[in-house]
A and B are shown apart, each in its own frame.
Chain A
Amino acid sequence: MIKSLDPRVTRAQIEENNTITPLKDLDQWETYEVFHQKKRGDQHMHVGIVHAPNAEMAFLFGKEQYGRRGFSVNIWVVKTRDVFASEYDDSDIFDTVPEKQYREAGGYKVMEKINKYKKGV
Chain B
Amino acid sequence: MYGNAYIDPNEKANLILAEEDPQKLAEFEARIDRGEKIEPKDWMPKEYRKQLIRMIEQHAHSEIIGALPEGTWITRAPGFKRKLALMAKVQDEVGHAQLLYSAAETLGKSREAMINDLITGKSKYSNVFNYPAFTWADACVIAWLIDAGAIINQVANAKGSYGPYCRALDRICTEESFHLKYGHDNVVTLATGSSIQRDMVQGALIRWWPPIMHFFGPSDKISQHTEILMKWKVKMASNDDMRQQFLDMYVPKIWDLGLSIPDPLLKKNTATNKWEYTEPDWDEFKRVINGDGPCNAERLAVRRHAEEHGRWVREALNNVGSKYIVPLA
Contact = CB atoms under 8 A, between A and B. Distances in A.
A95 interface: no
Given A18-B304, A65-B99, A9 B116 contact: no
Given A22-B116, A48-B99, A9 B134 contact: no
Contact of A6 (B68, B110, B119, B171): B68
Interface residues of B, number: 44
A14 interface: yes
B194 interface: no
Given A23-B116, A28-B111, A53-B317, A5 B307 contact: no
A88 B42 CA distance: 7
A57 B314 CA distance: 11
Contact of A65 (B42, B95, B174): B95
B42 A2 contact: no
Contact of B298 (A9, A47, A69): A9
Contacts of B168: 48
Contact of B134 (A5, A12, A20, A23): A5
11 contacts: A2-B302, A7-B76, A12-B305, A14-B305, A16-B297, A20-B304, A20-B308, A28-B314, A29-B318, A48-B102, A50-B102
Interface of B: 39, 41-42, 68, 71-72, 74-76, 91, 95, 98-99, 102, 105, 110-112, 115-116, 119-120, 132-134, 167-168, 171, 174-175, 297-298, 301-302, 304-305, 307-308, 311, 314, 317-318, 320-321
